[in-house]
Amino acid sequence: MDKVRLILTVISIVIVAVPIVGVVLTNQGNLLGLLIPPQANQIISSLSNSGGNDVKPPELVGEPQYDPASRTFTLSFNFKNPLPVDVTIKSMSGDIVCDVHPNVPLGKATLSKPVSMQAGETATITVQGTWTDAAISHFQTAHKGEKSVTVDLVDLAVDASGITVQTGERIRIPNVPLP
């Protein structure tokens, strides 16, 4: 009985160990490639070689739109994919604050639908948000008589092809219509 158990144990070890050893020997020149996919290495080397200079902030396209019935505003941006691989922006969200009164939160902005971009392609990204009751009150008191206001998009979080990036930079958005 002990011999059978010993033989089965050896067979189990061989079944598990041989494929692992085979993969390690096949990739012995690039053991890091076992853990990090080649596409990630390609992205990292591309960003390293360019010094990150190819990454430009999104550019506002046209004027922000506002729907008074739903208190919803819509912003459109052009953004160029600086990476050598296709990217899908699955989600994007950030807080909207008053530019003049930066401690006053006005609402949240989110990506209206996912956007796919090929390598080097420029795509339009549409972001929507809703003014909160506190925002409406702020506009009525601090910006009485104004037709539009400059706001900042802060704490922006972007999920691009499963990689989440969060930035502390402020994106200034001028001429946002007021309710």
The residues, any chain, with a CB within 8 Å of residue 41's CB and separated by 6 or more, are 32, 33
Q: Is 150's pLDDT higher than 80?
A: yes
- The residue ranges of every structural domain in the chain are 2-50, 59-177
Q: What are phi and psi of 24, to 5 degrees?
A: -65, -45
Q: Is 32's pLDDT higher than 70?
A: no
Q: Is 48's pLDDT higher than 60?
A: no
Q: Name residue 160's beta-bridge partners.
A: 89, 163
pTM as predicted: 0.65
Task: Note the pLDDT of residue 114.
Answer: 92
Is the domain covering 59-177 a CATH 2.60.40.10 domain?
Answer: yes
